[in-house]
Amino acid sequence: MPHVEESLQLPRDFEGFGEEGGRVSWPNGARIAVSFILNYEEGGERSVEEDGFSEPYLWEKGSTGGVKPGGRYLNSEQDFEYGSRVGCWRVFRLMQEFGWKMTIWAIAKAMEKNPGFARACVRENHEIGAHGLRWLEIWDYNLEEDKKYIKDTWLALKEATGEMPVGFYFGRGSPQTHALVPIALKEIGHKLLYSSEAYNDDVPYWIDLPWEASLPEEQREGMLIVPYNYDCNDGKFHMAPGFMTSAGQTYENYLKSTFDMLYREGGKMMNIPLHARIIGKPGRAEALRNFMQYIKAKPGVWVATRRDIADHYKYQVPYMPGSQTDGKLM
């Protein structure tokens, strides 16, 4: 059973921005901010050496892959290796082709095992975001284990890439991890810019931190949320019900439909979560390229890292305790 520390629980919000919805004034009058995110996990997944079995989750066999305890499952291992040997570079070249920057949800151990890719990402000014020390569940960690895992993640990423992340998405934390991150980072002299540990909106917003309630208002910092999503995640190729096919065209069409709705509404943000071993396969990468061409032809599209989105929002809408939008919509 996981430990639940009540003082670190963030409240739920069922109202959000209400009937009108949230809208952000993006730079240069852009109608939409588009965030490409590469989940880089290859080399940080579960393995026989460290866990007694090869990673069964999110590889090409999907739900039929299964677990083979006690020995190496080479099929799984090599599909992950495809991501680090080939897939990540294919996505990297697509970003170069279009002149865009992406956020890397970086697993520290994965970056350590592919230093050439880590260096290239920083060289091209792609953002290094924290995705965990390894790609595994830490659901049952106690407070001290949780805090150590957070600190070890940031310090290992700094060592592997030369960049100290300002944002994060673990996706596999304990009930405390989300709220613990800013506390743990302060203890190592680092400040969090944003969290993406949320899936509940199409625009950034502020939240109050419960332990700051006793501080004078001018000393409270809050937490900026840059929401993430699952519905545009290429991981759904290997999930049920997912995209119901391994063909990239289904994904391409869904991305276009999502973009069209958000673009028409205006002032929204679109997330495009990717995995090197999934979208990096040639057929799916070509579908992604088709989508990239589609949005490049539209006026008023701002493709940005999450760091840039957070910096812009924080400047436009400074934190005010008790109000997720500084008392106003943008």
The secondary structure of the chain, three-state, reads: CCCCCHHHCCCCCCCCCCCCCCCCCCHHHCCEEEEEEEEECCCCCCCHHHHCCCCCCCCCCHHHCCCCCCCCCHHHHHHHHHHHHHHHHHHHHHHHHHCCCCEEEECHHHHHHCHHHHHHHHHCCCEEEECCCCCCCCCCCCHHHHHHHHHHHHHHHHHHHCCCCCEECCCCCCCCHHHHHHHHHHHCCCCCCEECCCCCCCCCEEECCHHHCCCCHHHCCCEEECCCCCCCCHHHHHCCCCCCCCCHHHHHHHHHHHHHHHHHHCCEEEEEEEECCCCCCHHHHHHHHHHHHHHHCCCCEEECCHHHHHHHHHHHCCCECCECCCCCCC
Q: What is the mean pLDDT of the segment spanning 168-177?
A: 92
pLDDT of res. 276: 96
Q: What percent of the chain has pLDDT over 70?
A: 94
pLDDT of res. 245: 64
Strand partners, 34: 270, 303
Residue 19: band (very low, low, confident or very high) from pLDDT cuts 50, 70, 90: confident
- pLDDT above 80 (res 131): yes
pLDDT of res. 75: 81
Q: Which residues are within 8 A (CB) of 181 and not within 5 positions of it... i.e. 6 or more apart?
A: 150, 168, 192, 195
pLDDT of res. 3: 76
- pLDDT above 80 (res 22): yes
pLDDT of res. 182: 95
Question: Which CA distances in Å does 272 have to 75, 86, 198?
Answer: 27, 20, 15
* 53-57, 84-88, 122-126, 284-288: least confidently modelled range: 53-57
Q: What is the mean pLDDT of the segment spanning 282-301?
A: 96
Looking at per-residue pLDDT, the higher value among 62 and 117 belongs to 117
Q: What are 83's two structure tokens?
A: 């991501």
Tokens 């569940």 belong to 137
Residue 201 near residue 231 (C-beta atoms within 8 A): no
* 33-37, 132-136, 245-249: least confidently modelled range: 245-249
- Residue 80's identity, in one-letter code, is F
- Residue 70's identity, in one-letter code, is G
Is pTM beyond 0.85 here? yes
pLDDT of res. 248: 63
User: How many Cβ atoms from other residues are within 10 Å of residue 130's Cβ?
Assistant: 27
Q: What are 77's two structure tokens?
A: 């291992």
Question: Which CA distances in Å does 298 have to 35, 262, 292?
Answer: 16, 13, 10
Q: Nearest-CA neighbor of 246 among 277, 290, 292?
A: 277
- pLDDT above 60 (res 80): yes
Residue 309: band (very low, low, confident or very high) from pLDDT cuts 50, 70, 90: very high
pLDDT of res. 73: 77
pLDDT of res. 102: 98
Q: What is the mean pLDDT of the segment spanning 59-75?
A: 76
Q: Spell 68-95 as b/e; 16+ CB within 10 A means b.
A: eeeeebeebbebbebbbbbbbbbbbebb
pLDDT of res. 137: 86
Q: Nearest-CA neighbor of 129 among 110, 144, 148, 142?
A: 110
Looking at per-residue pLDDT, the higher value among 165 and 54 belongs to 165
pLDDT of res. 274: 97
- Highest mean pLDDT, choosing among 45-59, 225-239, 258-272: 258-272
Question: Which CA distances in Å does 104 have to 44, 190, 240, 282?
Answer: 14, 19, 25, 20
pLDDT of res. 76: 84
pLDDT of res. 329: 42
- Per-residue pLDDT tens digits for 143-163: 999 999 999 999 999 999 999
Q: CB-side exposure of 309: number of CA atoms within 13 Å?
A: 36
Domains of the chain (ranges plus CATH)? 22-316 (3.20.20.370)
pLDDT of res. 327: 39
Q: What are 190's two structure tokens?
A: 């680092």
Looking at per-residue pLDDT, the higher value among 215 and 48 belongs to 215
- Highest mean pLDDT, choosing among 182-196, 235-249, 311-325: 182-196
- pLDDT above 90 (res 188): yes
Mean pLDDT (the chain) is 91
**What is the C-alpha separation between 218 and 215, in angstroms, rounded?**
8
